[in-house]
Structure 1
């Protein structure tokens, strides 16, 4: 992804990318060896909220952070991948304030120390970066650490945490089939691997009954106290408010700041997870957290920046890195809700990498999007050719055209939009890599 500033830390990571594979090699042996050489920093963390899932885990991470910080707690946050800068993966706690992305010199020093401890042994860069997470989080004080799983669960490098305060598993659908299996129950079994015997588990909304059954059966087998969305807790909209309910009672809360009705279930899972972790939060903190939450690159509206000047005047521009059929479904539903409230012609500007299911992503936009413009993923060998991606969109019943850049797509949308037409709604998405490039080009990287 594009770097927008010179960075000592990025230079150190680039060195590692030349020595070690960038991809995934699912095993815990290498990360365990490396952490032992570092003095086992993963055993020196504050209480951990460990979050997995095909979709929604990033939203839950963002909700958790917002609510706990509103309570005045210091919160470390690990997410992946980053959108623009490597530093986004590591947010360090600031007691009584919002956490801050790790400073460049601090990150560069941590990367060097981890690389030195590894001693040139075979390892993936993701494993090194995960070890950096544990090192940083063990050396800086915090009340809570929120750690998002990278891929799967059972063999993900984050899954060396011996007993999290709570494990959270969000909606599961088909993704990364080459690594996790081609059926949702197989993927669910991999995600369930983050459960630890006797530790609390929260199971978010699952559209697939087979996935939910696997998760519940695993929790029961491991003796994990567990709460299941729709059974033990739930949330719905009522009179413009979010009503949350569990065995402890009801809470009347503001609707989440993150757009989309799917965020109601994500917020509910977060609230239940915070309770399951034994963290006492006030209703005031819940209200402030839901109202302040931010999650860059996920249904994020661009309101300023360089790219906006290329689109027709008055355009509504959104970016979202969702890239699998489940994500396509909830994003399309959100766009349909926007259309009900404020009708605008919808255009998609889409790029994807070759491990995804483009047709399944595009299908929910049938009858909703006027046209799709497919673009390459800049600087990625894994990016799908825009011609092939346009053919996938056509197979999903959409009119599609391949182009060379996002700027070209904006120019084409401007060309076909008459001056007196309703300004369009433009959704740029299909890949976090594409969204990262767009945020960099727009001059609005996450902070």
Structure 2
């Protein structure tokens, strides 16, 4: 492989092998590559919602402390390379190609014994290889799916494990009940780990405390760090223990908790209050209540399950302009529950499809009685006078819409 396009094509071919939970293939890959996943200090982040935002806050805090911070996240919103970043800068093409060739060679050597490797396993190995080469001060690894069997869980000695939230998502793989899903997420907690947890459902707090107790892991709740917060027209403001009131770089009451996860972790690492406060202000995360256009006002939000939609709806209740929702909810998500929540803030909910294997087709949506529109024609004609358009339903969907908006420049009469 010589270009990023070669790498993306190679990874795309691996999607055919689906999702295969388990760590044996990853462990064999890293052994073949002679990589110790714990050679660089790591922070491991799992949860249903809030992982990416927590990573964004923590990355900015570390950078403000003067450290080099690597991040591995998914999915991407703007470009594929943002899944592997150093100090918020996506991996360079030369480094992407170098790592991909090394991983592909290792896969070829091992295939007779371990079989085929999945796309996410290959990508995770690629990230480990790259960070083993550049050696940042810390790497923050975001779990792809679940925790205990996720390919990132080859980490044996993370400095901290963060559980952001537990909700109903990926039930076909993780389990039908919150308790089953939670046990999968808790799987990133290792012996003696410092654990930070967001606000969990009451029935999950005791199981998490027991899980940590069995592993001599210390546990601190995000709520313990929050002194107060307020939302108004100027943004989201929060005061944390020892940290003066600060306007958060990401909006919404749910971001107060995500930021609290990062505050607690940064304090455990001994980062300064100045760096923590700067990180709170500077955090940016595409697709999380992101204003992509001001005239007309268009906001992208990646809410893709009932818990994520609740957080979005709670934020939208602060809005004064009429709201229009454009969404595409994937086939494996609880569409009816999400639509019912959207109806709390607006009767104008339009559903569409996009080029993605798990997207509901226009025919399926019509059969379900949805208010169906064709995406490209809607974007080309939308003017949105005195309205706020919320694009949501899937991180994959908002990534596509974001690109279309910027490419079509249908807001050229206003200001992007």
The alignment's TM-score, normalised by the length of structure 1, stands at 0.84
Change (3 A) 1:238 1:402: closer
Verify the 8 A CA contact 1:259 1:299 in the aligned structure 2: yes
Residue equivalent to 1:194: 188
Residue equivalent to 2:28: 33
Verify the 8 A CA contact 1:241 1:252 in the aligned structure 2: no
1:401 maps onto 2:371 in alignment: yes
1:12 maps onto 2:1 in alignment: no
Verify the 8 A CA contact 1:82 1:89 in the aligned structure 2: yes
1:377 maps onto 2:365 in alignment: no
Residue equivalent to 1:430: 393
Verify the 8 A CA contact 1:235 1:243 in the aligned structure 2: yes
Q: CA deviation at 1:141?
A: 2.5
Q: CA deviation at 1:315?
A: 2.0
Indicate which of 318, 332, 341 corresponds to 2:299. Answer: 318
Verify the 8 A CA contact 1:377 1:433 in the aligned structure 2: no
Q: How does 1:13-412 map to 2 (within 5 A)?
A: 13-19=8-14, 21=16, 23-45=18-40, 47-92=41-86, 98-119=87-108, 120=111, 121-206=115-200, 208-230=201-223, 232-237=224-229, 241-245=237-241, 250-276=242-268, 279-303=269-293, 314-337=295-318, 339=319, 343-378=320-355, 380-389=356-365, 400-405=370-375, 407-410=376-379
Verify the 8 A CA contact 1:349 1:409 in the aligned structure 2: no
Q: CA deviation at 1:353?
A: 1.8
Verify the 8 A CA contact 1:358 1:389 in the aligned structure 2: no
Change (3 A) 1:147 1:219: same
Q: CA deviation at 1:335?
A: 1.0
Verify the 8 A CA contact 2:226 2:238 in the aligned structure 1: no
RMSD over aligned CA atoms reads: 2.1
Q: CA deviation at 1:70?
A: 1.0
Q: CA deviation at 1:171?
A: 1.1
Verify the 8 A CA contact 2:14 2:118 in the aligned structure 1: no
Verify the 8 A CA contact 2:366 2:372 in the aligned structure 1: yes
Q: Deviations over 1:247-296 (max 9, x none)?
A: xxx321312120111111111111112223xx222221122111111001
Change (3 A) 1:125 1:411: closer
Q: CA deviation at 1:101?
A: 0.9
Q: CA deviation at 1:238?
A: 5.7
Q: CA deviation at 1:241?
A: 4.2
Residue equivalent to 2:412: none
Verify the 8 A CA contact 2:293 2:299 in the aligned structure 1: no
Q: Secondary structure at the match of 1:135?
A: helix
Change (3 A) 1:21 1:111: same
Q: Secondary structure at the match of 1:43?
A: coil
Change (3 A) 1:103 1:329: same
The alignment's TM-score, normalised by the length of structure 2, stands at 0.90
Q: CA deviation at 1:200?
A: 0.7
Verify the 8 A CA contact 2:243 2:277 in the aligned structure 1: no
Q: CA deviation at 1:135?
A: 0.5
Q: CA deviation at 1:301?
A: 0.7
Q: CA deviation at 1:112?
A: 1.2
Verify the 8 A CA contact 2:38 2:158 in the aligned structure 1: no
Residue equivalent to 1:4: none
Q: Deviations over 1:343-373 (max 9, x none)?
A: 2111111112211111222222223123111
Unaligned runs of 5+ in 2: 408-416
Q: Deviations over 1:226-248 (max 9, x none)?
A: 11233x43342169742213xxx
Change (3 A) 1:12 1:229: closer
Name the stretch that deviates more: 114-123 or 48-57.
114-123
Q: Deviations over 1:104-134 (max 9, x none)?
A: 1210121111011111441101000000111
Supply the distance in 1 between the matched residues of 2:164 and 2:296 (Cα, whole angstroms): 33
Aligned length: 397
Supply the distance in 1 between the matched residues of 2:310 and 2:394 (Cα, whole angstroms): 15
Verify the 8 A CA contact 1:351 1:386 in the aligned structure 2: no
